[in-house]
Every structure is written in C-alpha cells, then in structure tokens.
C-alpha cells in the first residue's frame, strides 16, 4: 500500500508531542529543579503527567466555542497553575516569572532519536510540517533547538482551532492546495489518526510506546488499518520511498 | 546601530518578491513559451511587469474589506486573465489548465545570488521567516526549490490580511511572542519598511536595484534612516553579527 501511497501523498504533517518529541521526559527534566526548590514532594515524571492531564480539557473550551482561540502557550501557563494547585502548592507565593520560565519547558523538548534523520529523508521528496496543537513559536523553538527541518509550521494556531476538530485537518490541506488524501498525518495516537481519516486524509502510525513512560497502556499498536504502520521514522521514510 | 540592534532583535522577517527572489526575470522566463505559443507580441519582461501591475489593486480589494481574504495564488490567477486581456489576448480561447500552469510561475522564482547564504548565516542566531503577501504553499514551493532555510512561513495568509496593513506586522510579532522592536523587517522597498516602522518594528533595507530591470527608478536607495542599510544579504548578516 505504501507503494501507491507515495505516489498519492504530496505532504506529510506530523503530530509533535509524543510523535516527534519526548515531552514527558523533557518536561520532567525541566521541572525537577523547580519542584525541589519549592519543596514539592512529587516525582518530576508524575508532575509532567499532572500538567499534561490539563491539556485536553483546556483545549475543549476552545474547541467547543465557549472560549475564543488562545494559543497553547497560554493554556500551558494556566494549566501549570492548576497542576501545581492540585499538588497542594501555594501558587500565589511563587513568583510569576518563575512560572513563566517553567512554562517554556515545552519549548525545549528533545526529539526521539530517529525523528530528525527520518524528517530529513522525507523532506527530500515531500513537504513536511508539524500539524500540532502547539503554537507557532513553540514549534519554531523546538525545531531550531533540535534541528527539525520543517518546510512550514502549520497546525492549530494557523487554523485557530484545536485537533481533533475537522477544521484543523481540512484547512491545512486547503492551505497546501491539496486534496485531503494527498495529505498524510503521521501520529503515534490512534485517536488523532481516526479524526484525520474521517476528514479523508491519509494516515501513518508510528508507535511511541514510551511516550507515557514504562507503564504506558495506550497507543501501543495500530488500532485500525492505517495506510502505513511503522516502528520509527526511519521505517516511515523507507515506506515512503525515501 | 547594528551593534545594539543585534541585541534587541530576536527574529528577522523578510519581504520576498524582489527582496529575496528575482520575480521579474523568472516570471518572464516561465511566460516566454506561453506567449510564443499564443502569438502574443510582447516581451516576456514587459508581460511580467503587466501581470505584476495588477498585484497592488487586487490586494487593495481585500485590504479595504470590500472582499474577504483570498490567498495570493487566487489573485495571481485573476490578475493573469486581466493582464492577458490588457494585451489583447482572447483569454476565453486559452485552456484553463494552461493558465493554471502558468500561474505556478510564481512558485518557481529564483533567489538573488546572495539570498540563500545570507539566510543560512542569519538562521544560526535569529528566527527567520518570510513576511510576504505570498501564500503559504507559494512560499514553501519557492523555499524548497531554492533551499531557503526558513524557520516558519509567516505573512499574509497566516494573518489573513495583506501588507501594508498594520495587522500583518503586528500580529506577526505577537505570534512570535515578541515586542514589535524585537522583530526586524528586511525589505528592498521603502514603503514596506515605512509601514513596519509605523508599527514599531525594526527595519533593514537591502537594495535590489535590478528588481524592475535595468531601467528601475524606484527604491534604488534608502529613503529613511532605516536601522540597517545593506548592499546584499551577506552584508546584512555581517551587520547582525552573523
């Protein structure tokens, strides 16, 4: 199937958090000194999980239309306060500048070991771009630090809506001047791919079984017959003839 | 002044048509076989000029609010019909697919000889992006073909308005999380720089005295005390400490 697909597809767009970068390890690393300084008795990885748990409900406010579009940096900052309060921290006593600085942890996420080289190979033949809920500056900072060779930064902030709203997938195809099937979403999350497929996009699953740490129980394998299923970005590039 | 400026500025955004790429020579080259095939007795460069003359009035319809935002590919396609009609062509007899193909001439513009290397140097220290009226796909196609190493594709389509509307400059700074002065517009056009400066952006002028051919009479030199004035992108990079 990838043989035909590499003829149909013109651009690959990527989920980023979990698919391209390892957010959990990196947020934990960035948060550890902060947690120690404030005497918060929580494992850094558990703190990263707590912060991330606020992500979907915060975006749901925007997706539902109850709240106008605000970029993810703003939601992350609000979610940080919520996560800290949930751990019993007296957030009002923490200087705002310290919270602002910690919020930039999301701008310093490392890629999985195979991400960069796989993207470099795919870029030779396809347009490649993030299709992330992360905002443009956040994506730029990650890419510059990690050397990710995106052709453009697409996603939530360009469309002003959050995945899995259909508009994010469909408007991205339209911006690229492509029919939905000519655009392939690459993601480590079956739910993201299902939403993209419902819009007519092509789909590629790359397993990231440690995204949520050693005890991960979700998204360990493809749950539908995605157009491509690959173990890493190297195999993904190979399947697309790169 | 560039010494201080390289401390203040965090991102450089670039006018593209004329500043980064040589649109006139390339559109003429792309149009020449079409003009010959249809027996249109016009120099290819004069045809490029005629097509380009429709550019500002077409965008004015959007900037004024009389027309909702449409991307530049759409305006270029309409302007092509107008330019051909103005030359006396019987446009209705030309297959639409031929016009569509010629419209992509704007996606195949070559950079000036110094553009790519200058951008590569600036990218080491700054965020670099187009701030063009060209749409995202158009900018991506030019960049991939020419090897322009943009960190993101910003500009009219992201903001859904056309330069020199203030929103294009100000919202681009906001997307990048920057104060206006931290963003520097690089352009070969004094008018673009004046609009950017009115919004508080930093400004850099690079002369492109052959943009309009050997008889060019406008934008031959800086008309205000722009923060940087450079002869080419090499000098621009040097002035920014790259």
Omega within 30 of 0 (cis) for the link into B164: yes
* Identical fold between A2-22+109-239 and A24-107: no
Give the Å distances, CA to CA, from A141 to A95, A148, B12, B60: 24, 10, 15, 34
Q: Residue B232's pLDDT band (boundaries 50, 70, 90)?
A: very high
Q: State whether B140 and A151 contact (CB < 8 Å).
A: yes
- For the record, the structure tokens of A230 come out as 């690959």
Q: Which CATH class is domain A2-22+109-239?
A: alpha beta
Give per-residue pLDDT as tens, A63-106.
Answer: 999 999 999 999 999 999 999 999 999 999 999 999 999 999 99
Angstrom distance (rounded) from CA B15 to CA B189: 8
Mean pLDDT of A30-41: 96
**Closest residue to A175, CB basis, from B151, B157, B175:** B157
Residues in A closer than 8 angstroms to B143, CB to CB, are 151
- For the record, the structure tokens of A7 come out as 């003829």
**Closest residue to B127, CB basis, from A140, A152, A176:** A140
Mean per-residue pLDDT over chain A, rounded: 96
Q: Shortest Cα distance from A224 to chain B (angstroms)?
A: 31
Give per-residue pLDDT as tens, A221-235.
Answer: 999 999 999 999 999
Q: DSSP letters of B47-67?
A: HHHHHHHTHHHHHHHHHTTSS
Q: Is B70 on the interface with A (CB under 8 A)?
A: no
pLDDT given at position A99: 98
Mean pLDDT of B115-126: 98
Task: Please provide the size of chain A in residues.
Answer: 242
Q: Is A135 on the interface with B (CB under 8 A)?
A: yes
Domain ranges of chain A: 2-22+109-239, 24-107
CB A177 within 8 A of CB A196: no
**Closest residue to A136, CB basis, from B135, B139, B175:** B175
Return all residues near A116 (Cβ < 8 A) that are at least 6 apart. Answer: A146, A147, A148, A149
Three-state secondary structure call for residue A12 = strand
- For the record, the structure tokens of A86 come out as 């949930």
Q: Is B210 on the interface with A (CB under 8 A)?
A: no
Q: Shortest Cα distance from B183 to chain A (angstroms)?
A: 13
Mean pLDDT of B158-167: 97
* pLDDT tops 80 at residue B2: no
pLDDT given at position B6: 82
Q: Residue A3's pLDDT band (boundaries 50, 70, 90)?
A: low
Mean pLDDT of A147-156: 98
Q: State whether A140 and B154 contact (CB < 8 Å).
A: no
Give per-residue pLDDT as tens, A176-197.
Answer: 999 999 999 999 999 999 999 9
**Closest residue to A153, CB basis, from B137, B152, B157:** B152
Q: Shortest Cα distance from B29 to chain A (angstroms)?
A: 24
**Sole residue written with tokens 């990218």:** B123
Q: What is the pTM assigned to this prediction?
A: 0.97
Where are any strands of DSSP class E within chain B? 11-14, 127-132, 154-155, 183-187, 202-206, 228-230
Domain B24-107 superfamily per CATH: Putative phosphatase; domain 2 (1.10.150.240)
**Among the listed residues A86, A125, A78, A120, the one whose alpha carbon sits nearest the alpha carbon of residue A103:** A78
- Number of CB pairs < 8 Å for A and B? 47
**Among the listed residues B207, B133, B205, B223, the one whose alpha carbon sits nearest the alpha carbon of residue B169:** B133
Q: Is B144 on the interface with A (CB under 8 A)?
A: yes
Angstrom distance (rounded) from CA B153 to CA B23: 19
Mean pLDDT of B57-74: 96
Q: Is B132 on the interface with A (CB under 8 A)?
A: no
Mean pLDDT of A138-149: 98
Return all residues near B79 (Cβ < 8 A) that are at least 6 apart. Answer: B51, B54, B55, B58
Q: Residue B5's pLDDT band (boundaries 50, 70, 90)?
A: confident
Q: Is A176 on the interface with B (CB under 8 A)?
A: yes
- For the record, the structure tokens of B215 come out as 């008889």
What percentage of chain A's residues is helix, strand, coil (to nearest 5)? 50, 10, 35
Q: What percent of chain A has pLDDT over 70?
A: 99
Angstrom distance (rounded) from CA B85 to CA B46: 14
* pLDDT tops 90 at residue A4: no
Q: Is A146 on the interface with B (CB under 8 A)?
A: no
């Amino acid at each position: 199937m990838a043989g035909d697909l590499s003829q149909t597809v013109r651009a690959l767009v990527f989920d980023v958090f979990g698919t391209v970068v390892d957010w959990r390890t990196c947020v934990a690393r960035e948060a550890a000194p902060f947690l120690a300084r404030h005497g918060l008795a929580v494992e850094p990885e558990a703190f990263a999980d707590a912060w991330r748990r606020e992500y979907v409900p915060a975006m749901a406010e925007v997706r539902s239309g109850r709240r106008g579009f605000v970029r993810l940096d703003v939601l992350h900052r609000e979610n940080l306060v919520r996560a800290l309060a949930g751990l019993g921290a007296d957030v009002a006593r923490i200087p705002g500048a310290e919270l602002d600085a910690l919020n930039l942890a999301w701008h310093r996420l490392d890629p999985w070991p195979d991400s960069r080289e796989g993207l470099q190979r795919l870029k030779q033949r396809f347009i490649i771009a993030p299709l992330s809920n992360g905002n443009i500056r956040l994506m730029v900072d990650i890419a510059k630090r990690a050397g990710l060779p995106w052709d453009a930064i697409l996603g939530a902030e360009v469309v002003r809506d959050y995945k899995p709203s259909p508009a994010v997938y469909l408007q991205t195809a339209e911006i690229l001047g492509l029919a939905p099937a000519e655009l392939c979403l690459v993601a480590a999350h079956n739910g993201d791919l299902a939403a993209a497929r419902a819009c007519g996009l092509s789909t590629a699953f790359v397993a990231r079984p440690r995204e949520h740490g050693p005890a991960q129980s979700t998204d360990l394998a493809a749950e539908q017959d995605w157009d491509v299923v690959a173990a890493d970005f190297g195999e993904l590039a190979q399947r697309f003839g790169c």
